[in-house]
A and B are shown apart, each in its own frame.
Chain A
Amino acid sequence: MLFDDPVFGSRMLTMLTLSFHIIFATIGVGVPLMIMIAQWIGIKRNDPHYLLMARRWAKGFVVTVAVGVVTGTAIGLQLSLLWPRFMELAGHVIALPLFMEVFAFFFEAIFLGIYLYTWDRFENPKKHLLLLVPVAIGAAMSAFFITTVNAFMNMPEGFEIVNGQLTSVNPLMAMFNLATWTKVTHVVATAFMTSAFILASIAAFHLLRGSKQTYHKKGLHLTMKVGLVFAIASALLGDFSGKYLAEHQPEKLAAAEWHFETETEAPLIYMGILDDDQNVRYALEIPYALSILAFNNPSAEVIGLNEFPEEEQPPLFIHYFFDIMITIGSLMIFLGLIYVIGTRYNWNWIRQKWFRFCILLGGPLSMIAIESGWWLAEFGRQPWILRGFMTVDQAATQSDHVGLMFVLFAILYLVLGIGVVVVLTRMFKQNPVEKDLASLQGGEGR
């Protein structure tokens, strides 16, 4: 069969499901905030454009949420199906945030349901806006809780193993481990950033197609500004993540940076390829940069990969994921800055086709950065599933059918992915903004 080794099969199936889920989860975390901002501005300035924006975003959002829920349920069960040994251990120590996450889902689902079906039921529009608050909080909290679990896998704390027996369990310490705060904040900030840039892409797309609507211009302006703020936050928090790694998980940073020998004044290696003797070729070397990234000090000593036994070294290809993430992060800050400065001084060329085309690319690129970041974080934990305690080989199921399940789920996600795109494009083609705006101007208000 396809994957004779259940361990490899389980890893690939986990990767597949999570990489698909994270697309919808990111949108799920970020878009409620964007809807909230638009609706708030709309109410405050009494501007129907923003209200319509909120409404149209919400309409599309429902479709992505549905897929997020389906894939989330899949990964939730797959954790137990594919990693039974790990979940048995994890259940004893880190079940708390997983359990709390369910309540976050409840609130998100309940208030989203109410919000969507009550657009015209309230006399006071602010009350309707209030319904979004629990949706946004619920989504952010579910990201928070699940990321603490992931942080725990990188930095297991809050328990001891004495003679093979689990003792002194402290669920709160497990949850708020050393990795938690850099991870959580970076994940949430990047979700906000990515959602904003995806919505900006959509606005840019319509402007590129020749739409002259002020509606799209307002949308673009709003999303680019919010995107820029969170892009800067993401980079800062990413820098903290790097510092966390340097101190507590040096093997991951060393593998990501192809940093083999422990040394001071370490340079940062950008891209390049490795030859058979671990020599880096065709790379861009930035002197001192790695020491700065790791410790804010150009002469700091950075631990190299050779300090670790071979079987505990993460795969070296995570270097590319790291570089892709950082490149995209920097590009998006640059793009956002140019846009904001450009509109301020009324530069003409930010309204030109080629610039809008760059904005159009920004959304998908941000999503690629999210995927790269997670692949870096997850492959970089290898061979551990629970760093220092349990390897993936020990944790995986022994079932012979993992390969077949991989094929089934791959087909499923393909169908779902195509379905989402088709449904969303049809939905908005049948209800173009022009039509909605016309009915607004007709005094209908709905």
Chain B
Amino acid sequence: MKEILPPKQRIKIPRADMPEQDAAARIHNFLEVNRGLEEAVAKHEAQRCLICNDPKCIAGCPVGVKIRDFVELILDGQYLKAAAKIREDNVLPAVTGRVCPQEHQCEGACVMRKRATPLAIGYLERFVADYERAAGKIGIPERAPLTGKKVAVIGSGPAGLSCAGDLSLRGHTVTVFEALHEIGGVLIYGIPEFRLPKDIVRQEVDNLRHMGVEFVPNTLIGKTIGIDELLETEGFDAVFIATGAGLPRFLNIPGEQLGGVYSANEFLTRVNLMHAYEHGVHDEPVYDCRAKTVVVVGGGNTAMDSVRSAKRLGASRAIIVYRRGLEEMPARAEEFHHAQAEGVEFMTLTNPVEFLGDEHGYLQGMVGARMQLGEPDASGRRSVSLVPGSEFTMPVDVAIIAVGTRANPLIQASAPDLKTNRWGYIEVEKQSLRTSKRGIFAGGDIVSGAATVILAMGAGRNAAANIHAYLATGQW
């Protein structure tokens, strides 16, 4: 049974460490780095929670996972119930436990942060989700009686998946259309196996199938089927657009067309979706990085995933080139630490100004320049500018551009009456997620711009609630 220690003692317990694959070994494979907590360790960690009356952690979680309650269930040893508790607000706990930027969300808000270190909420979330999966007893909630209403979801990333799950539970018939051949969006094609094993995503997708969701891959809405056709001829009563922010941004500097210069999306798609790291078994190639110098431009999660993938593909030097300082890097703290342990080099306050090629049009070098930080702008971010005369040249074999993405205009091009803002993101009514077109809702990265898995899931849930209300009343 639950042993409750007085708060003073709880605070003295050191935060659990995540067991991980040794850095020297893991740079030669794509297996998951974090191994997960043992049951006893998880229980011990749960002891640290102060079970606050006013749990600040919950406010820090974008979907309001009932953290205190699930931690109490862990203390009770009721792991399946703990998982079910999380699922009330978050349908992909095995995913978010691994990829949420906890330090800015739940753990960033935990009161323990001020006094010692925050509760390892992410580790615990992952623990119960993995426990549930290993037990083969995923607590799939009961489905409401069929309503006879049909909803089309476009895109199978976290926004699309969570919306589909919720609507299906409410008794609607949901079809998810996905352009690629695999379901999962960025969870499949972007985030690498060593951070998020694909089996986890596949299992979550299977759960949704069992909940009655139908998945149709290889279908590009706007091309294979027009968005208006979904409502007019395909018999759908409502549509949720969750197509993500998949258009890669480039630097627009000379030499970006050279062979050996990739967008992070292309590099990661080849490596993850197409398994280029198993070339020989899988057919899709990726440039042979062995004994090569690979630079990755950018400082976010995408940049970390690219540079660590390059390291695993055998790069002799894998270097992050980032125009601001380490403190400004938007990547999850854990990814930065893992990258560092794996021997990734960091060239901060540096930006490429040109890529240099050989006579065959292949990348050979990079001209970089030093950057300096200026005053914070209105959004609080410090501006950057080039230090005049600081240019230098270095040899580089592969360059991966990870400086963000924009809205993919494909859907909008097929529906010119769908309102978008000046960056091409779809405009929605804040509360209802309604677009300018009747019956069509949108959410996730295609509305917010590139954000996080949990925010996309939150948007998907919110959309499901609003779509449900619309289907019930027919009022727009």
User: Do these two chains interact?
Assistant: no
Chain B residues within CB distance 8 Å of chain A: none
